[in-house]
Chain A
Amino acid sequence: MPRYMLLTKYDVDSIGAGPMSEWDPDDITAHLEFLRALNQELIDNGELVDMQALTGPELAKIVTFDGQGSPVVTDGPYTEVKEVLAGYQLVDVESEARAIEIAARVSAAPGPGGVPLRNRIEVRQLMGAALEPGDL
Chain B
Amino acid sequence: MTSTARIEDLLPELAPQVLGAVVRRYGDFDAAEDAVQEALLAAAMHWPAEGLPDNPRGWLIQTAVRRLTDQYRSDQARRRREESAALRELPGAEPAQRDETLVLLFMCCHPALTPASSIALTLRAVAGLSTAEIATAFLVPEATMAQRISRAKQQIKASGIPFRIPAPQEFEARLRSVLHVLYLLFNEGYTSSAGADLHRTDLSGEAIRLTRTMHAMLPEHSEVTGLLALMLLNDARRPARTGAHGELIPLAEQDRTRWNRPAIAEGVRLAATAMSGGVVGEYQLQAAIAALHDGAERAEDTDWPQILGLYGLLARLSGNPIVELNRAVAAAMVHGPRAGLDLLAPLEERLPGHYRLDAVRGHLLDMIGDTEAAAAHYRAAAARTTSEPERQYLVTKAAKLNQQNR
Binding site for B on A (CB under 8 A): 1-3, 43-50, 92, 94, 125, 127-136
Whether the pair B363, A129 counts as a contact (CB closer than 8 A) is no
Whether the pair B144, A48 counts as a contact (CB closer than 8 A) is yes
Whether the pair B330, A46 counts as a contact (CB closer than 8 A) is no
Q: Told that A135-B251, A135-B330 touch, could you supply 14 new A-B pairs with CB distance under 8 A?
A: A43-B143, A45-B147, A46-B148, A49-B140, A49-B144, A92-B140, A127-B388, A127-B391, A128-B386, A129-B193, A131-B386, A133-B191, A134-B325, A136-B329
Given contacts A45-B147, A135-B293, contact A127 B326 (CB under 8 A): no
Give 1 or 0 for each of B273-294: 1 = CB within 8 Å of chain A CB: 0000000000000000100010
Whether the pair A43, B192 counts as a contact (CB closer than 8 A) is no
Q: Distance (Å) between the CB of B365 and the closest chain A CB?
A: 14
Task: Tell me the nearest residue of chain B to A2, going by C-beta.
Answer: B386
B194 contacts chain A at the CB level, 8 A cutoff: yes
Task: Tell me the nearest residue of chain B to A50, going by C-beta.
Answer: B141
Which of chain B's residues have a CB closer than 8 A to the CB of A43?
A: 143-144, 147
Task: Tell me the nearest residue of chain A to B235, going by C-beta.
Answer: A133
Selected A-B contacts with CB under 8 Å, 16 pairs: A1-B116, A1-B138, A46-B140, A46-B146, A49-B139, A50-B141, A92-B144, A127-B387, A128-B192, A128-B388, A129-B195, A130-B193, A130-B194, A130-B248, A133-B190, A133-B237
State the majority secondary structure of interface residues on B.
Answer: helix
A129 to B293, CA, bound (A): 23
Whether the pair A125, B386 counts as a contact (CB closer than 8 A) is yes
B360 contacts chain A at the CB level, 8 A cutoff: yes
Given contacts A129-B194, A135-B293, contact A49 B250 (CB under 8 A): no
Whether the pair B389, A130 counts as a contact (CB closer than 8 A) is yes
Whether the pair B326, A135 counts as a contact (CB closer than 8 A) is yes
B37 contacts chain A at the CB level, 8 A cutoff: no
> 8 Å CB contacts to A: which residues of B111-161?
114, 116, 138-141, 143-149, 151
B234 contacts chain A at the CB level, 8 A cutoff: yes
B104 contacts chain A at the CB level, 8 A cutoff: no
Which of chain A's residues have a CB closer than 8 A to the CB of B385?
A: 131
Which of chain B's residues have a CB closer than 8 A to the CB of A50?
A: 141
A128 to B139, CA, bound (A): 11
Whether the pair B144, A134 counts as a contact (CB closer than 8 A) is no
With beta carbons under 8 angstroms apart, the residue of B114, B148, B237, B250 that contacts A136 is B250
Which of chain B's residues have a CB closer than 8 A to the CB of A127?
A: 386-388, 391
Whether the pair B187, A132 counts as a contact (CB closer than 8 A) is yes
B359 contacts chain A at the CB level, 8 A cutoff: yes
Whether the pair A49, B141 counts as a contact (CB closer than 8 A) is yes
